[in-house]
Amino acid sequence: MDVEADVSRFLKHIESERRLSPRTVVSYRKDLEDLRLFFDDHFGGGEWGWGTVERIDFRSFMGWCGRKGLTRRTVARKLSATRTFYRFLHLEHRVPSDPVRTLRSPKIEKRLPGHATSRNIEAVFLGAEARAAANTFRDTRNLVILELLYGSGLRLSELQGLDLSDLDLRQEQAKVLGKGSKERLVPITGSAKRAIGRYLPRRLELGAASFAPDREALLLNPAGKRLSGRSIQTIVRRFLDDAAPGEGLSAHALRHSFATHLLDAGADLMAVKELLGHVSLSSTQVYTHTSKERLRQVYRSSHPRS
């Protein structure tokens, strides 16, 4: 059995058929490379194949990860990648059984997602709107970025991939391409609609330059190319660092804030799940923990007997 060829087929499968993101494919590749290197050493350089590895060998791999100082979360991720890989091998009849299926993942604590407070958000938009009042290309575009990340709960990759044709300003909605290339419609707030209306004329002015701007992308850089995810992250970090210094909040914190503030205001959990584009309700339920923790903090700081 060709060990490396099986990994290559699997990576091609998740990239072309399951349409997972390039970053996810790279993560799978690294995890499976670590697994292969471990088994090369574990079996003393002798012949081995994916079908000959037993459950106890995978437990040895988990122990090896622990001795290397990897966190439980990282070990759980590697085990999850291995499970997905073996499920593929089993369905392709490359292995007679799936020895990973019954392995337990290490227990990990759920991390509460970082989010901005309502006061932080207010400060972010006060600053962004003041800058956008100058009606420059950069400042009107940056306000659109903030409005869509917080107002519609978009992932950074979803925002970065938005085209002009994805917007329906009359219906105040946008079509986004989420994880696994799944499309969904998200609402656009009135303030986001106004921000886009202010930005689009500035965007059109790039057409008067000596270069031809990207005709499809909503968000452009001054060179007329689609704005990169890294640039969006940098722009948002600057606003968040000004509004919440020392918190280390990222662009994704605006999506977390979107969900947390909706639930704090009494929004239905299933509705928030659909707005976020989550497949599993458990992915959305982490935001209820955030809200409960906020209530605990209020209780401890306010109640005289707490």
Judged by phi (left if over 0) then psi (alpha if -120 to 50, else beta), residue 270 lies in alpha
Looking at 29, 184, 194, 278, which residue is catalytic? 278
Q: Are 148 and 156 in contact (CB under 8 A)?
A: no
256 in active site: no
Pairs from 234-237 (Cβ < 8 Å, separation ≥ 24): 235/142, 235/145, 236/145, 236/146, 236/149
- Whether 287 is a known active-site residue: answer yes
Q: Which residue in the block uniquely carries the two structure tokens 């996810």?
A: 24
**Per-residue pLDDT, 293:** 61
Q: Which of 28, 150, 199, 287 is catalytic?
A: 287
What are the two backbone dihedrals, phi and then psi, of residue 189, each rounded to the nearest 5 degrees? -70, 160
179 is catalytic: yes
The structure's pTM equals 0.66
Exactly one of 255, 256, 261, 273 is catalytic; which is it? 255
The tens digit of pLDDT for each residue in 11-53 reads: 999 999 888 888 899 999 999 999 999 999 999 877 899 999 9
Distance CA 83, CA 153 (A): 30
Tens of pLDDT, residues 61-105:
999 999 999 999 899 999 999 999 999 999 999 999 889 988 888
Would you state the structure tokens that stand for residue 237, as one six-digit string? 């970090």
Is 13 annotated in the active site? no
The CA distance from 31 to 11, in Å, is 12
- Mean pLDDT across 211-227: 87
Q: Is 237 a catalytic residue?
A: no
* Active-site choice (72, 77, 138, 179): 179
- Mean local confidence (pLDDT), 260-281: 86
Annotated active-site residue in 115, 155, 226, 261:
155
- Fold category of 3-91 in CATH: DNA polymerase; domain 1 (1.10.150)
Residue 109 pLDDT grade (very low, low, confident, very high; cuts 50, 70, 90): low
How distant, in Å, are the alpha carbons of 141, 225, 239 from that of 211?
A: 19, 10, 30
- Where in the chain are all domains bearing CATH 1.10.443.10? 118-249
Q: Which of 164, 174, 168 is nearest to 216 (CA)?
A: 164
CATH number of 118-249: 1.10.443.10
Q: For residue 213, is pLDDT > 90?
A: no
What is the pLDDT, as a whole number, of residue 189? 95
Q: Where in the chain is the domain with CATH 1.10.150?
A: 3-91
